Structure 1
Amino acid sequence: MNPLSKSRRRVAFVMLIFAALFLVFISRFLYLSTTKKFHGEDMLVYAEKKRWESQSTLSAERGEIFDRLGSPIAINIPSYHLVAIYRLGGVKDPDETVVDFKKTATGLAPILGMSVKELETYLIENKDRSQIEFGKKGNDLTVDQKEQIDRLKLPGIRLIEEPKRYYPNGIFLSDTLGFVQKITEDNGRVVLKGQMGIEKQYDEALRESFGSRVFEKDRSGGELVQGTSKISNEPKDGSNLYLTIDHRIQQALEKQMQKMYNEYKPKNATGIVMDAKTGEILAMTDRPSFNPNLRDMTDFTNFAVSSRFEPGSTMKIFTLAAAIDAGVFRPNEPYKSGSYNYKGTVIKDYNDVGWGTIPMIEGVYHSSNVMFSILTAEKLGIERYKDYFKKFHFDQKTGIDISGEVNSQSDLSKPLNTLITSWGQSTAVTPMQILQGATAIAGDGEMVKPHIIQKADHTDKAPYKAKTEVVGKPISAEAAKATREALDGVVNSKIGTGQMYKLKDYRVIGKTGTAQISENGKYIQGQFIHSFIGMAPKDDPELIMYIAVDRPSKNESSVSGPSIMSPVFKSVMNTALQYRSIKPATQKESVDVKAKIIPSYIGKSMNQAEEMAKEQGAVPVVLGDGVEVVSQIPTRGQEFVSGERVLFKTGRTFKMPDITGWSQRDVKKLVSLYDLKLDVIGKGFVTKQSARTGTLVKENGKLTVELAEPKE
């Protein structure tokens, strides 16, 4: 077939389609013109009905935001928009339009904050227009201003009601809460739209849905008094949100943070109070901040979730917890402080010289970089540290229900970076990641996810209520308790770096931090991010508080953090504990940095011995099926330190425990207690055991263990 024939066929096909469509159109037209019905309804009647029908909008309100106690945080109030009418239908009317400019200006000027002359000039300059507005001076007028204007009864002056968001507390959770802005839609309707923070993130849930009503109108367009009307679309208010925030604790935090900010003028600062058991955020604020009613912000960053930085020594609590959980932290083991050479890189303590040869537990109190380097490199091992880093979820976002969260930034592919990370440099994390990890130490080893939305009263679906979400268990309950015991001396010993955070009526534990700041691949000299993470009460923490201050402009030094931040922490934590109805406790004396003396447990029941050992800070290991302790190691009168294993013999036989990770010293305790014959292969910590876990072992039996140094 030649090209011309193909072209003719295409043209014929297209013409056929158009002809078919034309026939359908003509048929429909003839049907409508003949029957005069559309969807079974007479078109003339339908047209006449629509001619006298009109529609009005049924208003609805944006959802409001409250704290956990129902105290308002973001609410709706009416506001008014001022308009001056010069002509109605092109006609001036002394009773309905502005004619007397002097009288109008004299009445309105003091209410709008303008001079009479200025306002009169403005009215005269625009007299040829149909109507005018008054710019910023005539927007967002209050109810009081409206009532003042109404009393004047000025012809041609109209007040149009518009929605307005009001934040009754001013500077209050501002960087997290955000703000809304008035938006004029294509149909002229003014609505509120979230522009930042919770207001923006949950804008869809908070947003209202306007309704509509159809009514009969008269010739002037007004509604017929005796006419019919019906609602064609029901209006729906937006969902109300309830936050986990406690306004009393939030106000205390805002007050103290502002006081600190006014005095020290740091570049940035953040403070967060969290429920240790549920992950609920009870208070959170940044500095600098802003008043959402004024939107006078200079920084749009939510420091708690959107900024990551090298945290400094607050990171050491997780290294300590990991080492205790792995069974490699020996509190009373001596080490030489001051400096440590790791494969050619010299790591120093913050004072450069250290404190001589001291026990490792004192290294915790002193915040010794050298001790934590030895603990990571020689005891725990680089690879095992990396495993715990992931167990504490430092490699992922927390998933908190706040927008803008960033992840940590790390490079653990190099052993040196991992080692430095273990004491708080090299890796950048967020304050929220630190808080989430701390919940495992505050509790029984379980880590809970932080959240700030408590519930939502949805109007179109089932209400939402948040639940506590456990996101992992990086350490055991015993390790968590032993970590808290070890941290006690940071605040409550005479040599701890956190002594200034001590409270009179509550036992606080925690960890200080001072981090160098990296810019363009180099650390800035003489400027630091100071931080502190504390929890209370020590034995069963209810609250965790984190505070960080970035480069204060006054009293800046590597050791100035406690003097800057402790007044904030102490005031807010004390207030929060009281509001949470936590009973004050009589404080014990300061932590004794020396080893403890083991008592006798012989003759005690298994449960009594376990309870006593735990109270002493030891880790009890019960062997045998007897009802009471017949022998023990360490024996009565020997020294021991918090976190050390104490073995109890209750029978002549016992089921073999899993001793993976035990030190050779702990294995020798077991061998001595049951007169076992021991064969040791290698050195370091147990990786294999000849008797399987649960195997029945008798006195004078044989045990072979393989040991290995921690891997790098």
Structure 2
Amino acid sequence: MKKKYHKFNLRFYSIVVFLLLIAIILSSKLIYIQVVEGDKYKKIAEKRTLKNVIVKPIPGNIYSDDQSLLATSVAKYELRWDSKVVNNKDFIKNKEKLAHGISKIIGSDYLKIKKDLQRAREDDNRYWLVGKNLSYSDYIAMKKLPLFNLPSFKGGLIIQQNIIRERPLGKIAERTIGYERPDTDGRFFRVGLEGAFSSLLEGKEGYRLKRKIANGKWKSINDTNEKEPKEGYDIHTTLNINFQDIVHNSLLEQMEKYEAEYGTVILMEVKTGAIKAISNLGITSNNKYFEKLNYAVGTTQEPGSTFKLMSMIAALEDGVVKPSDMIDTGNGERIIYGKKVKDSKKGGHGSISVSKVFEVSSNTGIVNIIYDNYNDNPKKFIDRLYNMGIHKQLNIPIKGEGRPKIPYPTDKDWSGISLAWMAWGYGVSLTPLQILTFYNAVANNGEMVKPIFIDKIGRLGRPPHIKYSKKVLNPSICSKETLSAVKKMLLNVVDKEWGTANKIKDKNFTIAGKTGTAQTEYTKNSTEYISSFVGYFPAEKPKYSCIVVINKPNKTKGYYGAQVAAPVFKKIAKKIHSGITNDIYIPFSNLGLTKKKSFEKKESMPNLIGHEVMDAIVFLEKNNIKVNVFGKRGKIKKQSVVSGTPLNKIKSIDLSL
């Protein structure tokens, strides 16, 4: 019996010792994990429940030359509520006021909001939707409500900011201002100025620490960021919205009239090369026009008769002809290597001066000048063109500039007709902007300047990060004597009865320029046309140069450059020269007392940035808009409502000084 009892005790003690050993091992392991590996496992836990979320910066704005907004980033807010962090006493005390406030801001039924708040509380909902796509004003109003005015760990308000890019001018100049769109492979790319300066506009990202809550949702731990994002730089363009409106609508009217495929207009400041307006309109499948592609910058095409200026300057510079020399155009036809050159005037112009060859746009005349004088040495003619710089790209910041094509005699595709056809603008290719840059050089006394779209890049109230100035591409494209001769020819194209653009002559100001009517798709059965006019105004003291190109107008309605493109040029030039702006959008460029009368009739929100706050308040309150001002002094640097928004849809606006 004692033996059995002894065996039992031994077995019992063995089990106890074994269990104690296991307990000691487990305790040691727990102590080791807590003391030695504690930080390691804490970090693993934090990685699963904490994370740094990228906070996108607010991209910079794009402005016109008078500081009107062309593109801006508007903050939209999504607000949610974590009901679990609020104690019961505070919830009961503030529930009704909170429901009233929310219903008033989002325009929903008070009783429904109150019921939804109660249900969210009972369900321990940690991500109840308060409102989506809220404006900055609504967001600020929400943050003033009971509970929501507390830090998020007490009041439960969860804030998500989304940045939306808006263009107050809508579709006008959209392709040049730029936008973001998805590629075929799902990636995003930007076009226009948005794309060219994306690295400066975007700013630098920050981050905010968030903790994982119920249902896999994430909530900010603090109301502030761990690292603040850095706002992007603002782009101040050379574009003028008054001129842009004139250019856009003048082109659109003519495109619709002639049912053209696409068209473009560029307006440039002669002295500086600053682009003041640019419009690119292409037709859609439903026969509407919009900014489809940047034809002005990217589309190279045979210029036709507008290239005769380059040919004429080359001939005059080389001294092969003088303006007064007589050229026999015969019956208006000439055969070269089996190919016919023909004038638009039936029977030709007979014997006319070199100047008149240009002014009446005689194809046979210009071919006789160039082919007869350079056929033995075509390299001399091409070298003269190259010396003027027309074979080079302009290297503008907007991506996709077309490459000029000016054939050289050593090229493989050079043939016996190449020289003759180049003389009147065939076999060569240039973009509308490249053609305009050359004509602008003539207007600018021979100095060719690079087209510029940007005045400066920087942040409000600080010195510019980058300042752009005039860049000379060629200090002199030709001699003063040649320049004087071709200027007179360009004036006579419009001024003289025989000039191809005489119909756009105006008694109040002078226009100088050249018509162009280029055949396209002439290798096919049905020939189409490109109608163009390029020149400058006023002719005696040029301030602006302009090109109008309209592709494939309806031939039954008209296709000559003088008929289709030149009237657009005149309409633009006349409005700009005379200062007629009654029927165009006038920017809120001055809020001073001297201009108050013109603003009383405004129907949309102007750009208030940079103006005196008291002047803005007078204007806004006259339109029954409540104004909230943040800051003690200074001019307005931010506005919560984007310019261009209809005034009758605005209840309040926040202005930051």
Same fold? TM cut 0.5 = yes
TM-score (norm 2): 0.64
- Paired with 1:346 and 1:56, the residues of 2 have a C-alpha distance of 70
Amino acid at match of 1:435: L
What's the counterpart of residue 19 of structure 1? Answer: none
Q: Which stretch shows the higher mean deviation, 346-355 or 328-337?
A: 328-337
Residue 148 of structure 1 deviates from its aligned partner by 10
Once residues 327 and 425 of structure 2 are traced to their aligned partners in structure 1, the CA distance between those partners, rounded to angstroms, is 23
- Seen in structure 2, the aligned counterparts of structure 1 residues 147 and 441 have a Cα distance that, compared at 3 Å, is same
Letter in 2 for 1:500: K
**Is the CA contact (8 Å cut-off) linking 2:82 and 2:158 kept in structure 1?**
no
Residue equivalent to 2:229: 235
Q: Quick check: 1:517–1:524 contact (8 Å CA) kept in 2? A: no
CA 204–455 in structure 1, closer or farther in 2 if over 3 Å, else same: same
Cα distance in 1 for partners of 2:504, 2:124 equals 70
Write the deviation string for residues 462-520 of structure 1: whole angstroms up to 9, x where unpaired.
7211122222233123211211012221110001111123233221110000011127x
Alignment of 1:112-511 (within 5 A): 140=133, 142=135, 160-180=160-180, 195-212=190-207, 233-288=227-282, 300-332=292-324, 333-337=326-330, 338-379=332-373, 382-409=378-405, 411-412=407-408, 413-457=414-458, 463-472=465-474, 473-511=476-514
CA drift at 1:286 = 0.8
The gaps in structure 1 that reach 5 residues or longer are 1-32, 97-102, 184-191, 291-295, 582-712
Question: Is the contact between residue 84 and residue 125 of structure 2 (CA under 8 Å) also seen in structure 1?
Answer: no
1-side partners of 2:89 and 2:348: how far apart? 90
Amino acid at match of 1:565: A
The aligned amino acid for 2:206 is G
Change (3 A) 1:86 1:405: same
SS in 2 for 1:165: strand
Q: Contact between 2:446 and 2:478, CA under 8 Å: does it hold in 1?
A: yes
Counterpart amino acid of 1:484? K
Mapped to 2, the partners of 1:144 and 1:562 lie a distance apart of 53
The alignment yields a C-alpha RMSD, in angstroms, of: 5.1
**More helix by percentage:** 2
CA distance 1:523–1:474, change in 2 (3 Å): farther
Contact residue 264 and residue 549 of structure 2 kept, 8 A: yes
Partner-residue secondary structure (3-state), 1:288: strand
Kindly state the Cα deviation for residue 426 of structure 1 after the two structures are TM-superposed. 2.3
Cα distance, 1:207 vs structure 2:
0.6
Matched, 1:524 2:504: no
Farther off after superposition, 257-266 or 155-164: 155-164
Identity %: 23
Secondary structure at 1:163's aligned position in 2? strand
Give the counterpart letter for 2:565 in structure 1: M
Structure 1 residues 74 and 326: alpha-carbon distance in aligned structure 2, compared to 1, 3 A threshold: same
Deviates more, 1:536-545 or 1:314-323: 536-545
> Matched residues in 2 for 1:215 and 1:86: separation?
14
Match of 2:478, SS?
Answer: coil
**CA drift at 1:200:** 1.9
Structure 2 unmatched runs, 5+: 1-31, 93-98, 149-155, 212-217, 409-413, 582-657
8 Å contact from structure 1 (residues 175, 300) kept in 2: yes
1:54 is displaced (CA, Å) by 9.0
1:141 Cα deviation from its structure 2 partner: 5.1
Q: Is the counterpart of residue 64 in structure 1 residue 56 in structure 2?
A: no
CA separation of 1:562 and 1:420: change in aligned 2, threshold 3 A: same
Superposed displacement of residue 580, structure 1: 13
SS at match of 1:164: strand
Change (3 A) 1:151 1:361: same
Return the offset for 1:562: 2.7
Aligned residues of 2:172 and 2:291 also touching (Cα < 8 A): no
Q: Within 1, Cα distance between the matches of 2:429 and 2:525?
A: 13
Residue 312 of structure 2 aligns with an amino acid whose one-letter code is L
| Structure 1 position 223, deviation (Å) | 6.3
- What CA distance in whole angstroms lies between the structure 2 residues aligned with 1:146 and 1:224? 17
- The alignment covers a number of residue pairs equal to 501
For residues 313-365 of structure 1, the C-alpha deviation after alignment (integer angstroms, 9 at most, x for no partner) is 11111111222222233333241341123344331112342122222322212
1:141-176 per-residue CA deviation (whole Å, 9 max, x = no partner) reads 556887999999999998743111111111221111
Q: Which amino acid aligns with 2:308?
A: K
Could you tell me whether the CA contact under 8 Å between 2:282 and 2:292 is conserved in 1?
no
Q: Is the 8 A contact 2:82 2:157 kept in 1?
A: no
Cα deviations by residue, 1:551-601 (Å, 9 ceiling, x for unpaired): 123754443x333333321221233345699xxxxxxxxxxxxxxxxxxxx
Give deviations 1:207-262, integer Å, cap 9, x for gaps.
1223357899xxx988699xxx9x86453111111111122211111121222233
Change (3 A) 1:130 1:58: closer
CA contact (8 A) 2:57 2:202 kept: no
- d(CA) in 2 for partners of 1:88 and 1:130? 6
Partner AA of 1:465 in structure 2 = K
Partner AA of 2:373 in structure 1? K
Distance in 2 (alpha carbons) for counterparts of 1:150 and 1:224: 15
Secondary structure (helix, strand or coil) at the match of 2:370 reads helix
Shift of 1:419: 1.6
**Contact 1:111–1:145 under 8 Å retained in 2:** no
The AA in structure 1 aligned to 2:69 is P
Pick aligned residue for 1:78 from 46, 63, 75: 75
The alpha carbon displacement at 1:270 in A equals: 0.2
Q: 2:632 — aligned with what?
A: none
Query: What secondary structure, in the 3-state scheme, does the structure 1 residue paired with 2:539 have?
Result: coil
Aligned residue type for 2:392: Q
Which SS does the other structure have where 2:404 is aligned? Answer: coil
- Contact 2:171 2:290 (8 Å CA) reproduced: no
SS of 2:75's equivalent? strand
Q: Contact 2:172–2:248 (CA<8 Å) still a contact in 1?
A: yes
CA contact (8 A) 2:83 2:124 kept: no
Instruction: Name the CA distance, whole Å, in 2 between partners of 1:466 and 1:203.
Output: 17
- Secondary structure of 1:450 counterpart: coil
Cα distance between partner residues in 1 of 2:469 and 2:422: 33
The answer to whether structure 1 residue 566 and structure 2 residue 562 are counterparts is: no
Matches within 5 A, 1:654-669: none
Matching of residues 558-597 of structure 1 within 5 Å: 558-559=559-560, 561-578=561-578
Contact 1:63–1:241 (CA<8 Å) still a contact in 2? yes
Whole-angstrom distance in 1 between the partners of 2:430 and 2:192: 21
* Mapped partners of 2:579, 2:519: distance in 1: 36
CA distance 1:54–1:157, shift in 2 (3 Å) = closer
Report the secondary structure of 1:524's partner residue: coil
Q: Give 1:280 shift.
A: 1.3
Cα distance in 2, alignment partners of residues 479 and 580 from structure 1: 35
Q: CA deviation at 1:523?
A: 6.8
